Amino acid sequence: MSYYWPILLIVAANVMYHITAKSVPTEVNPFASLSVTYIVSAILTLILFYITSPTKNLSAEVGHMNWTALVMGVAIVGLEFGSISMYKAGWEISIGSLFANIALALALVVVGLLLYKESISFHQLAGIGLCCVGLILISK
């Protein structure tokens, strides 16, 4: 179960995320909504840090960080603004997320091959081909 619980958490959180992203009122500036979102997230992550950290020394943890936390912050803003914008543009919840996630998976195959020297099997190539066909079919 320890192998699968992160996937279950991701799926549950993503379902909740997409329902709320699609429910952001159209008259609300997306960045105002995201500001409140990040305030809640900051409070929750600080509470969870102090609950889970044996040392409870946040400044020491920050001292060990590198560029990844900053870039992840930029990436998260892009993800969330993109999702809200996708729904405001009229994408259906059942299609928009599917399209974006298949496109993401295809992009990550390239990243895996080029940056991480991962290999790809014939079965995986066939699956990628089916995903590409699926993107074409759902975008029509």
Sign of the Cα pseudo-torsion (87, 44, 14, 127, in order): positive
Entry pTM = 0.89
Rounded Cα–Cα distance for residues 40 and 42 (Å): 6
Q: What is the pLDDT of residue 140?
A: 77
Q: What is the pLDDT of residue 138?
A: 86
Q: What is the pLDDT of residue 77?
A: 97
Show the low-confidence residues of the chain (pLDDT under 70).
none
